Amino acid sequence: MLFTTIKINFASYPRLNAMRLALNSLIKLVSGAAILALLLFLPAGTFCYAGAWRLMALLFAPMTLLGAALLIRAPQTLERRLKSKESRKEQSMIVKISGLLFVASFIIAGLDFRYGWSEMPTAAVWTASVIFILSYGLYAEVIRENEWLSRTIEVAEGQKVISTGLYGIVRHPMYTATVTMFLSMPLVLGSWPALLAMLPYIAIIACRIKDEEKLLHEELDGYGGYCKKVRWRLLPFIW
C-alpha cells in the first residue's frame, strides 16, 4: 500500500499530549465563545449589549484559568472534561435537549434586550453575577476533589467512590454547581423571559441524575453504600 495510517500514542509523548490537549482546549474555548456571541449579539441586533459582554467575561475568564491549571496539574482530568459524546442513548438525548434549551434562552435574552420586553433591577443583575462566580468556584472545587470526573456518563477503569468533601454533603455537587450557574446566566443577562426558558433545565438535570445513578449502581463498586450514607442528590434537605 502506498499510504498507511499513522497512529500516535500521545500518552507516550508527554509534550505532544500536552500540546494536543492545549490545542483541543483552545479550539473548544474559541468556538464556544463564538457560538455564544452569535446567539446573543445577533438577536440583540447590536454589540452594545453590556449583559452579553458581562456573561462572556464571567464565563470564559475563569474557564481559561481552570483549563490552564488542569493542563499543568491534572491533564487526565482535562482529557475527561473535553469529552462530549455520550455513549448512553438516554444521556445523549438529555444533552441534545439541554443544548436546545440553552440556545432558546440565549436567543430570548438577546431579543429581550433588543425589544425591551422586561426590566431587571441592577442589584439583581450584580447579585446573579456574584452567585455565578461563587458557583464556578464550587465547580472548580468539585473537579479538584474528584479526579474521575468526566463530562460524559461513564465509569472509568479503577474508579472509586468519592465520599469526602462536597461529596459528603450531596452525591452530585457538580450538578449543584452547574444548575446554580446556568440559572444565574439569564439574570446576568438581565432577562426574566430567558430565566423562564431556562427553568426546565432543573427537570432535565433530575432525569440525567436518575439515569446516571442507575449506571453507577450497576458498575461502580460501593456506590450503593455511599447512597445510604449520603442521602441527598442535589440539594440538602430538598432532593
Q: What is the distance between the alpha carbons of residues 17 and 212, in angstroms, rounded to a whole number?
A: 30
Residue 44 CA to chain centroid, in angstroms? 25
Dist CA 39 CA 26 (whole Å): 20
Name all domains of the chain by residue range, CATH numbers in brackets. 15-229 (1.20.120.1630)
CA distance 92 to 87: 7
Q: pLDDT of 37-53, one tens digit each?
A: 999 999 999 999 999 99
pLDDT at 35 (0 to 100): 94
Q: Please tell me the distance from the alpha carbon of residue 90 to that of residue 211, in angstroms, as a whole number.
A: 7
Q: What is the pLDDT of residue 73?
A: 82
pLDDT at 2 over 70: no
Highest mean pLDDT pick, 8-22, 70-84, 100-114, 207-221: 100-114
Compute the average pLDDT of residues 69-74: 80
How confident is the prediction for the chain on average, in pLDDT?
Answer: 85
> What is the tens place of the pLDDT at every residue in 150-206?
666 666 666 788 888 888 899 999 899 999 999 999 999 999 999 999 999 999 989
The pTM for the full model equals: 0.83
Q: What is the pLDDT of residue 152?
A: 65
* Per-residue confidence (pLDDT) for residue 85, from 0 to 100: 67
pLDDT tens digits, one per residue of 120-157: 999 999 999 999 999 999 988 888 888 777 666 666 66
* Distance of alpha carbon 183 from alpha carbon 141, whole angstroms: 19
